[in-house]
């Protein structure tokens, strides 16, 4: 490299070293990381007033209504295929309510009496948690 190329090379790398962190800072400064938690808190307050029964553990909160079940997933699950089953009158896994994946609020329609829910990993055939109302 000639003397002129070395100076340009040095100046270019210094400019890149300053520009990249600055661009990263401005690109993430307006992100809201607490948006999901605020929505869950609002729904929790509404659900307490209208729900027939409520069950909760460290992973999920489930609220039983007349013809639906509201499930609030609090923590992310590290499994690919999580299926929610209703528990029938005999205490066994009954009908499939639906599938859950990420932290959030899920509402499933139900038929008949439901005594609780089972959250089950369908691929590994492992029960993750069980809640009774």
pTM score of the predicted model: 0.60
User: 110 — phi, psi (to 5°)?
Assistant: -125, 155
Per-residue pLDDT for the chain (133 aa), expressed as one digit of tens each? 899 999 999 999 999 999 999 999 998 888 766 554 544 554 555 455 577 888 888 888 988 888 888 989 888 888 778 899 988 888 788 888 888 888 888 888 888 788 889 998 888 888 888 888 8
CB atoms within 10 A of CB 79: 15
Tell me how many helices (H) and strands (E) the chain has. Answer: 2, 8
CA distance 28 to 19: 15
CA distance 105 to 102: 9
Beta bridge partners, 64, equal 53, 69
């Amino acid at each position: 490299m000639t003397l002129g190329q070395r100076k340009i090379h040095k100046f270019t790398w210094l400019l890149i070293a300053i520009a990249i962190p600055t661009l990263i800072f401005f690109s993430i400064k307006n992100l809201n990381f607490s948006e999901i938690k605020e929505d869950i808190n609002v729904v929790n307050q509404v659900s307490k007033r209208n729900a027939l029964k409520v069950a909760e553990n460290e992973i999920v909160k489930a609220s039983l209504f007349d013809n639906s079940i509201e499930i609030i997933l609090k923590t992310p699950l590290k499994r690919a295929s999580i299926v929610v089953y209703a528990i029938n009158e005999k205490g066994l896994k009954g009908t499939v309510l639906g599938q859950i994946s990420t932290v959030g609020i899920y509402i499933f329609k139900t038929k008949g009496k439901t005594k609780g829910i089972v959250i089950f990993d369908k691929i590994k055939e492992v029960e993750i948690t069980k809640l009774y109302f």
